[in-house]
Structure 1
Amino acid sequence: MRTDYHNHLERGTLTLDYLKEFTDEAAAKGIQHFGISEHAYHFYQTKNILSNPWVDERRYYDMKDYVSLFHEAWNQGIDVKMSIEMDYTPGRHAEMKSFIDTYDFDYVIGSIHWVDDFGIDLKEYLHEWDKRNVNEVYEHYFDQVVTLAQSNLFDIVGHLDLVKIFKYVPDDEEFLMKQYDRATDALAQSKTCVEISTAGLRKPVGELYPDDRLLKLCHQKQIPIVLSSDAHVPGDVGADYDQAVALAKRVGYTSLMTFSKGERKEVPLD
């Protein structure tokens, strides 16, 4: 069984023709469970959750058009899950819950891209890394992982250690493992699954998310997983899944979680 639950249409159009490029690629790669999870910040309906100059310049979708696209696909017999990738925003739990509850999502991904006003994975903010204490950034990032898990709003946490994207990593192994440990403790007490994402292989860090040590803790604490590519173009759907599956098996996973209309089901990892 294979899943690819983290994919984006934002570089193309919210049209059935473009969506089919993704679903056709998934079918060609033997992915049985495929979903689109557009960034929530693109939608006018999320302005009360996350708003800053970078985000507001990129808010150009309406949720009614997004939902209509999926209904059009389903009416044509296309098996695609409807999801959203929401920037977890501290202090906005009620607003996030209200948005999530408004739509009939198959699952919801929660991700952390911002530490206060610092866009940790954006090239526009790359220069900021050299101005900041890496340990403090990591600590604040994993503070949010903990409260994301505690909110229990999300089915999946996206790219769990995204903070490493530009190869800024604490030198202190003990400190890093402490962050991993408290994050996985919180995730283990929540409904939140962890994705093994191949997107990191296409980023400067050149590694899967999460790394072996972090995923091993997830397995030890019985946190379920899904597979995701975080594709922003059709050709990246299911990219490098041989490496993702090898990592999952190496740390001991034998199953994946699947989602449909908020319901989850554990299936074997082939």
Structure 2
Amino acid sequence: MLTDYHNHLENGTLTLDYLKKFIHKATEKGISHFGISEHAYHFYQTANILSNDWVEKRRYYDMADYVSLFEQAWNEHVDVKMSIEMDYTPGKHQEMETFINQYNFDYVIGSIHWVDDFGIDLSEYKSEWERRDVYDVYRAYFDQVVTLAQSNLFDILGHFDLVKIFNYVPHQKDFLLEQYDRATDALKESKTCVEISTAGLRKPTQEIYPHEELLAMCYKKGIPIVLSSDAHFPEHVGFAYDQAVELARKVGYTKLMTFNKGERREVSLG
């Protein structure tokens, strides 16, 4: 079996017709477990969790409309999972938990896009990489991975090493492996799975998330995985899945995790 749990409607409309375009592509690609996980910052209901100038310009959805879309889909027997991708925000654990518990999500993705006021993967902030110490950014990023895992609020960690997106990577291998090690130690003690995301192949890094060495650590520590494309357009659903499956098998994985209303079940990969 294949999963694609990380997908966005934000470049289209919150309508059943647009959602069905994603479903059609998933069916074409043989993906039997498919979900939509819109960015939580788009919704008015998350204003007390993450707020900055960049986000506020993009807060235009109401959760009632989002839930209604899935109810329409389910009423027509469209098999789609309802999820959210939430920016993990230090110091806002209670607010994140309260929001998550208000909705009957099949699973919840936690991702890190911000290190303090620095949007690490945003083109608008790319010049910041030249002004900041790469080691400090990586240390702070993986600090958040650790506390994200320790919060146990999330079912899936999105694009584990997103911090490499613009190819700013510490030269000291020992430093990088130290960050990988402490992050995977925290994840193995949590309920949080890791996604193998092909989105990195569409970004400047030209690499799958996570890096092979990081994924190998996940496997050795028994951390479950899912496959995701992080599609923002229907045509990207299941993008480069042959490479994702190859990488998963190369490090030893033979199973994927699946989700249904918070319940999880392992299935055979592929």
Q: TM-score range by the shorter chain?
A: over 0.9
Detail structure 1 runs of 4+ shifted over 4 Å in the superposition.
none
Q: In the alignment, what sits opposite 1:63?
A: 63
Instruction: Show CA shifts across 1:83-108 (max 9, x none).
Output: 00000000000000000000000000
Deviation at 1:203, TM superposition (A): 0.1
Mapping 1:1-270, distance limit 5 Å: 1-270=1-270
Q: CA deviation at 1:220?
A: 0.3
Q: Distance in 1 between matches of 2:241 and 2:222?
A: 22
Offset of residue 134 of structure 1: 0.2
Letter aligned with residue 260 of structure 2: S
Q: The residue matched to 1:108 in structure 2 has which SS?
A: strand
- Counting aligned pairs with the same residue, the percent is 74
Following the alignment from structure 1 to structure 2, what is the Cα–Cα distance between the partners of residues 81 and 194? Answer: 18
Q: Distance in 2 between matches of 1:254 and 1:171?
A: 32
Q: Give 1:29 deviation, angstroms.
A: 0.6
Deviations 1:101-128 (A, max 9, x none): 0000000000000000000000000000
Q: Cα RMSD between the aligned structures?
A: 0.3
CA distance in 1, matches of 2:146, 2:181: 10
* CA displacement 1:45-76 (0-9 Å, x = unmatched): 00000000000000000000000000000000
Q: Distance in 2 between matches of 1:192 and 1:166?
A: 26
Q: Please state how far the C-alpha of 1:33 moved relative to its aligned partner.
A: 0.1
Q: What's the CA shift for 1:12?
A: 0.3
Q: Deviations over 1:157-213 (max 9, x none)?
A: 000000000000000000000000000000000000000000000000000000100
Give the letter for the 1:38 counterpart.
E
AA aligned to 1:43 is F
Q: TM-score, normalised by structure 1?
A: 1.00
Structure 2 unpaired stretches of 5+: none
Partner Cα separation in structure 2 for residue 21 and residue 210 of structure 1: 28
Give, in whole Å, the separation in 2 of the partners of 1:227 and 1:176: 24
Flag structure 1 segments of 5+ consecutive residues without an equivalent.
none
C-alpha distance in 1 between matches for 2:164 and 2:106 = 29
Q: Please give the alpha-carbon distance, in whole angstroms, between the structure 2 residues aligned to 1:216 and 1:29.
A: 26
> 1:23: Cα distance to partner?
0.4
Q: Deviations over 1:116-168 (max 9, x none)?
A: 00000000000000000000000000000000000000000000000000000
1:222 partner letter: G
Shift of 1:4: 0.1
Between the aligned partners of 1:173 and 1:106, the Cα distance in structure 2 is 37
**Aligned partners of 1:21 and 1:254: how far apart in 2?**
29
